[in-house]
Chains A and B, each alone.
Chain A
């Protein structure tokens, strides 16, 4: 059952990612990316990371991507035009990427295939209580620093988007 779920959602994730790369219109790309994120959330649940799965749904697909879709609709510029300037990237980039993927897969398989396989239910330390405990004890300083970062980001976004201030 684990394997079937994994294969299904891994395939959905890869298909959505490829679709995101191929679609001409940003809205289609954004929706495909949401598909990737939702299937990754399912995989997180399979890995025992319940809280991260929920955070993935709430933060990524519920807030960040809504922002993306909102901006795309606000600008409403239509589909992307083909470019003539990306010739080098196309000719050189594609084979290099395939090589990157092949090498990465080879290294990963060599290094980790002997490790114990993932079994659903074997790891249960990913609930909200455990994550929250770690976050507010051992990782308290990074947590506070991140909150300051977000404050700065809010101020920056407000300053940038507010045209009348100049």
Chain B
């Protein structure tokens, strides 16, 4: 079939979904942090603040785009969009479902299926630093410049252990194509333990090293030195406002989605479920059914008057979703999507959880962790895995 046509359709479907997801992750983050800190978070725009992202988008779009004096105009303008561009392009190589038959056409769920998928993501991750570095430099502000310098040093340092940690599962899968890597992780050992890279050999160590590096690469707490509010006011984006400010946030969340997807694909078995397939088919239905029941119950015994209408409405939505997973043709496709996005969603929740829990590191501690702890551990893991692969000829 027309490869180009299918690609265009897939892109047109995924791009708006991605943008909506980016907007709603902000909502999820605010809600989760609020509940960790015993607050309610956004509440008044829509039921439980569900329309808050739209209000935020309108606010950011209509706000005055203030440009301070003395900035380098071209780079000041280009930096946020450069960062966002590199972040969004990384999404293209992530496979989020198996190859499926849609009206007789074989369609890969995922935009591009290339041989060098992981290298592409690493390359774009390396380029992502330009957005931050240029923003900090062109703003003509001491704090912004310091944030930019910190960010470039931090990202170069953490790329090394990150690449080493990623190399170990690649050795076991014998491919750089993310789709092939996921496909080697299908099946179960002894019928119960999933055959994921995470449970093979020493990859738990590799996974932990990778996740720590992922926090540093995306400039998230506890490694958010480039934008530390309490010491650098807001670091590299202190002089930005309006849509340019939003572009930085979108790039950050997009990078979070990418690192979580890579972790899912390389360590957590992609779209392969954690329980044997006979049970896995009914897990989404069960989960959505329980959620629907929960919502109906709380809608009936409501504390707040507005929940009388909103809770049952979402209960109906969830119940319909639960039933959709049982339809023969569509069910299996949705099932694999459910497992992939479920894992990515859990990792994203983990990022937010950590942000609400841990304090920030000092700058020298940050560098010490990368060079004296993560780098040797990742290297040892790689060497051990290489021996392991050669010995057992996996």
Contacts and interface: CB of A to CB of B under 8 A. Distances in A.
Contact of A69 (B122, B123, B133, B176): B133
A58 B129 contact: no
A54 interface: yes
Identify whether the interface residues of A are mostly helix, strand, loop, or mixed: helix
A10 interface: no
Interface in A31-59: 31, 34, 50-51, 53-55, 57-58
B345 interface: no
Given A54-B116, A128-B119, A66 B149 contact: no
A53 B130 CA distance: 19
B133 A73 contact: yes
Interface string B62-80: 0000000000100100000
B354 to A, nearest CB: 26
B120 interface: yes
Interface string A69-111: 1100110100000000000000000000000000000000000
Given A69-B152, A73-B145, A62 B127 contact: yes
A66 B116 contact: no
A74 B120 CA distance: 28
A51 B118 CA distance: 11
Nearest to B116: A54
Contacts of B176: 128
B153 interface: yes
Interface residues of A, number: 22
Contacts of A31: 75, 130, 134
Interface of A: 27, 31, 34, 50-51, 53-55, 57-58, 61-63, 66-67, 69-70, 73-74, 76, 127-128
Interface of B: 72, 75, 114-116, 119-120, 122-127, 129-130, 133-134, 136-137, 145, 148-149, 152-153, 155-156, 159, 176
